[in-house]
Amino acid sequence: MPTLTIDNLSVTIPDGSTIFEAAAQLGIVVPHFCYHHALGAVGACRMCAVTVVEGKMPGLKMSCMTPAEEGMVVETDTAQAMEFREHVGEWLMTNHPHDCPVCDEGGECQLQEMTISSGHGVRNYRGNKRTYQNQDLGPFIAQEMNRCIQCYRCARTYQDYCGGRDFGPMGSRQRVFFGRFTDGMLESDFSGNIVDVCPTGVLTDKTFRFKTRLWDLQQAPSICPHCSLGCATVPGGRYREIQRVVSGVNVQTNGHFICDRGRFGSSYVNHPKRPRQARVDGTNVPVAQALNRLRDKIAGVIAEHGPGAVAFVGSGRASLEANWLLKQWARSLKCPAPVFELHPRRGRAIRQAVGPLSSHLASLRQVRKSDLVLVIGADPLNEAPMLALALRQAVREGGRIVVLDPRPVDLPCVFEHHPLTQEQILCLLAGRCETGLLNNLLSELMTARRPVLVGGSDLLGGVGLQLLGHLTESCDNDDRYCLIHPLLPRVNSFGGGLLEDAPQEDLLERLENGRIKALVCLESDPGSEHPEAGRMQLALSRLDYLAVFDCLPTHATRRADLLLPTATTVEGDGVYINNEGRMQAFSAALQPGIPIAAVTAGQHPPREFMPETPGSQPQPAWQMLQDLLGERHSVTALRRAMEQSEPRLEGMSRLQPGDEGIKVAPQDPEPVEESTVEIWSQDGDLRLLPVQSCYGSEVASSLSQTVTPRLVTPRLMVHPQEAQQRHLQEGEDVTLKTAHGLFRLRLFCDERMATRRAIVPCLPGTPLEIFVPGGLSLPCDIEGGAS
């Protein structure tokens, strides 16, 4: 812990820190470009020069590269240092086009700030400026290379941190170019991060081009709603539309970066078909009227058929507050407690994570620091992309990744893949079949210093996660736990699971036997979430009354007797609990409303004045539920009440949007619920596994216009061996025969996947939406030709 003096101020910092970090701790920002907290120092820009007055090596030094020493005396404002930094400013600006008025970075340009702070003001160079030809990098990133100051941050992010291979520095001297060999869409699923790290307007968000200056942007710290990892984001909008999302910083979860689905998948908020009006029996009504109607209707059903005739469905999309209030409402009516996950097998998996595994949950940070990660039944890039990035960081630090999964798993790092089928993985974990591989892995886990098991709930289910839990416990030792990082279906699945008192009977059966007359759905869509989607649709049509709260256009909102429009994540406050049990708060960046662009057809804001903002009816679901319950508390008061009723939520009322979040208390050791034993068999030559795809399976992002170019088309994937046996060619259209019907699909082959398996992506809005992820494999057959 050396103590040194910088600009006459004394500072003590951890061993191994640099002068730059010591100065930062004192609040002295030394101008810099190539240094970035997530990327570290490389000494390329030379902007952070300071004078070491006393020390082992006195003189002008780069503060980001010079270790802080005991007793060192440093001055940041000597004539020598200031003259040099001014020159660096001048050199960097030699060829800069000074097109700030039309540059998207304006208002948040580090080049502007650092040039001013370097002291450079007037350019002496009068020669021609170097210019570049820009490339088309696809739908997400705009490139304007003339603005580049060669800090190498983009390359260090794209190649080193994110493992991308198709973008980097080319050429030398003053003509270094950052781009691809040829024009084309960036391949990495983390490409948007180069926008965040670029200190100037070379790489900007194409979907945000020419829309808004930072100072006009409405922003708030938020949580990405697209998977269960709960990454920190900062959405920004203006004119009642979401315009961009940038990464927030949470060292416990995502660190400094986010995936492209999280960044570019948010324009569902602006979706023209989004529910924006309360509706009762096909007629638009004010929200208050709809709420009164709902209260009366439910009371009527209870009076006529008893409280058992009303069912409530919460969800992993809804905030913790809304789910809790739904539960309170059901309790006040003496109705059965809500179901928070309609997919029974997924529900069992969530209960495992919330319950028995809760003492062993690993954060993404712990995954990044792990020396051995076993990824079992998970495909990170498709299910939770930031996990893939965390695995890469583990590998960069010398860790090892072993994947057991039937899919052709791709990761941006070196890893070992065993393409076992779902059944083989479950057998392996249960010790019912060949255990050589497991024994090898077990002995590695025993000796690893920071082992983590990643378990995909969709493939493993409750039984699989339970077996994984036994595995971790057997690998614990006195010094450390063997941690587990379960992937859950949705952003707040953990929260729903935590509110669930006891496992419920499958909703489908209760609907089919006619016991339920009225159903209230909170941001859930039974017809697309239940594994028996077709049967569920049919059963819903037998209901007397369907009331739906939602912000997305779904099957349920279309056929609802009563519809209440809710606010999206970016329009309300709330708390989500991520897959490792971390409660995190988000706050509203925007007020709901139909985007001005949609109201005015792109014209200037309207001259016609209305008493209220068009489309401003949506409210956070928890506010509407409070109204229903006849109470109106502040968020904090509500969270305090929740803490009292659910002791595991202790700390919830202290959460601040943008903070690291607080982990929920582990579940007290109590008799573990016996999971339903799943029977698996390997009958049949070929079985079908419906899986998630990064772009297209998650409902909200697939409704975002911005990710349309990346959406996966319906397809069928098999091992080349299967295609060969059936005399099928890759690329031909084949017929997939299943119990759910026949599907004409393009055939893809991948030799990295398991044999005897066919894989289809679950894609809402396409014929494949009948398939829901999270189940066991299904019998199927494939036929070629035009049958």
Partner 1 sequence: MKQTEQLLFKNRRPGETAFLKEYEGSGGYLGLKKAVREMTPKEVCELVKASGLRGRGGAGFPTGVKWSFFPAENPGPKYLVCNCDEMEPGTYKDGELLKADPHQLVEGMIIAAYAMQIDTGYIFIRYAYKEQFAYLERAIVEATEAGYLGKDILGSGFGFELHVHGSAGRYILGEETALLNGLEGKRPNPRSKPPFPAVRGLFGRPTTVNNVETLANIQHIVNGGAVWFKDLALTVEGAGTKLYGLSGHLEQTACFELPVGISLRELIDDYGGGVWQGRAFKSCLPGGASTPFLTADNLDVALDYQTLEAVGSRFGTAGVTVFDDRTCMVAVTLNLIRFFARESCGWCTPCRDGLPLVVWLLEKIERGQGTDDDLQMLKAQHRNICGNSFCALAEGAMGPVDGLLSNFEQEVVDHIQKGRCPFTA
Strands, E assignment, 640-723: 662-663, 687-691, 715-718
Smallest distance from partner 1 to CB 476, Å: 33
- What values do phi and psi take at 124, rounded to 5? -85, -25
**Which residues contact residue 47 at a Cβ distance below 8 angstroms, ignoring those fewer than 6 apart?**
31, 32, 33, 34, 85, 88, 89, 92, 114, 118
First to last CA, the chain: 75
SS3 248: coil
Using the minimum distance from each CB to partner 1, give the nearer residue, 41 or 372: 41
Q: Is 257 in contact with 189 (CB distance < 8 Å)? A: no
Among 20, 132, 152, 158, which residue interacts with partner 1 (rule: CB under 8 A)? 152
**Nearest distance from residue 173's CB to partner 1, in Å?**
4
46 belongs to the binding site for partner 1 (CB under 8 A): yes
Rounded CA gap, 17 and 489, in Å?
40
Residue 60, interface with partner 1 (CB under 8 A)? yes
User: Measured from the CB of residue 142, what is the shortest distance to partner 1 in angstroms?
Assistant: 23
Q: Does 494 bind partner 1 (CB under 8 A)?
A: no
Q: Which of 9, 26, 65, 597 binds partner 1 (CB under 8 A)?
A: 65
Contact 263, 226 (CB under 8 A): no
Q: What is the DSSP letter of 514?
A: T
Nearer to partner 1, 168 or 385 (CB): 168
CA–CA distances in Å: residue 33 to residues 22, 41, 154, 450: 17, 10, 12, 34
* From candidates 174, 332, 443, 676, binder to partner 1 by CB under 8 A: 174
Query: Which of the ranges 85-93, 220-228, 477-485, 558-566 carries the binding residues for partner 1, by CB under 8 A?
Result: 85-93
Residue with tokens 């077996």: 467
Alpha-carbon gap, residue 425 to 761, rounded angstroms = 20
Nearer to partner 1, 47 or 72 (CB): 47
CA separation for the pair 345, 462 (Å, rounded)? 7
| Surface-to-core class of residue 67, CB atoms within 10 Å of its CB (0-12 exposed, 13-18 middle, 19+ buried) | middle
User: What are the angstrom distances between the C-alpha of 170 and each of 41, 164, 180, 708?
Assistant: 21, 15, 8, 30
Any contact of residue 124 with partner 1 (CB under 8 A)? Answer: yes
Of all helices (H) and strands (E), which one includes residue 288?
helix 287-305
Question: Applying CB under 8 A, which part among 22-30, 88-96, 325-333, 773-781 lies near partner 1?
Answer: 88-96
Q: Under rule CB under 8 A, how many of the chain's residues touch partner 1?
A: 32
Pick one of 2, 75, 91, 476: the residue that binds partner 1 (CB under 8 A): 91
Alpha-carbon span 746 to 736, nearest angstrom: 10
For 139, 149, 178, 205, 569, the CA distances from 135, given in Å and listed in that order, are 12, 17, 10, 14, 34
Report yes or no: 421 and 682 within 8 Å, Cβ to Cβ.
yes
Least separation, in Å, of the C-beta of 125 and partner 1?
A: 6
Q: 406: how many CB neighbours lie within 10 A of its CB?
A: 27
DSSP 3-state of 254: coil
Complex with partner 1: residue 60 or 251, whichever CB lies closer? 60
210 Ramachandran zone, left/alpha/beta (phi>0; psi -120 to 50): left
The single residue among 24, 49, 590, 745 that binds partner 1, judged by CB under 8 A, is 49
* Residue 84 binds partner 1 (CB under 8 A): yes
44 binds partner 1 (CB under 8 A): yes
- Report the nearest approach of partner 1 to the CB of residue 69 (Å): 14
CB closer to partner 1 out of 172 and 182: 172
By the rule CB under 8 A, 577 interacts with partner 1: no
* Closer residue to partner 1 (CB): 93 or 597: 93
94 binds partner 1 (CB under 8 A): yes
Residue 167 makes contact with partner 1 by CB under 8 A: no
Query: Which CB atom, from 85 or from 206, has the smaller least distance to partner 1?
Result: 85
To the nearest whole angstrom, how small is the minimum distance from the Cβ of residue 63 to partner 1? Answer: 13
Q: Which listed residue (28, 52, 92, 217) binds partner 1 by CB under 8 A?
A: 92
Cβ(578)–Cβ(229) below 8 Å = yes
Q: What residues have CB less than 8 Å from 240, skipping those under 6 apart? A: 590, 591, 592, 593, 594, 595, 596, 613, 615
With binding defined as CB under 8 A, does residue 43 bind partner 1? yes
730 three-state secondary structure: coil
Which residue's CB is nearer to partner 1, number 399 or number 595? 399
CA distance 734 to 747: 6
Residue 89, both tokens:
């400013």
Inter-CA distances, 478 with 234, 399, 473, 475, Å: 40, 21, 11, 10
Q: Residue 58 interacts with partner 1 (CB under 8 A)?
A: no
The nearer residue to partner 1, 178 or 268, going by C-beta atoms, is 178
Q: Does position 42 bind partner 1 by CB under 8 A?
A: yes
Residues 6+ apart with CB under 8 A from 126: none
**Contact between 305 and 517 (Cβ < 8 Å):** yes
Closest separation in Å from C-beta 401 to partner 1: 20
The yes or no reply on residue 45 touching partner 1 (CB under 8 A) is yes
Residue 84 beta carbon to partner 1: minimum distance, rounded to whole angstroms: 5
Residues 538-557 that bind partner 1 (CB under 8 A): none
Check binding of 198 to partner 1 (CB under 8 A): no
Residue 182 binds to partner 1 (criterion: CB under 8 A)? no
Tell which one of 2, 106, 139, 169 touches partner 1 (CB under 8 A): 169
By CB under 8 A, name the one of 54, 70, 83, 296 that touches partner 1: 83
Q: Which stretch binds partner 1 (CB under 8 A): 92-100, 496-504, 550-558, 666-674?
A: 92-100
Tokens representing 779? Answer: 């019998």
* Nearer to partner 1 among residue 179 and residue 764 (C-beta): 179
Token output for 280: 């009762």
Q: Does 78 bind partner 1 (CB under 8 A)?
A: no
3-state secondary structure of 36: strand
Q: Residue 266 Cβ, how far from partner 1 at the closest point, in Å?
A: 35
Question: Does residue 604 touch partner 1 according to CB under 8 A?
Answer: no
Q: Does 47 bind partner 1 (CB under 8 A)?
A: yes
- 140 lines the binding site for partner 1 (CB under 8 A): no
Q: Which is nearer to partner 1, 86 or 643 (CB)?
A: 86
Q: Verify binding: residue 150, partner 1, rule CB under 8 A.
A: yes
Residues that bind partner 1 in the complex, under the rule CB under 8 A: 42-47, 49, 59-60, 65, 83-84, 87-88, 90-92, 94-95, 124-125, 127, 150, 152, 168-169, 171-176
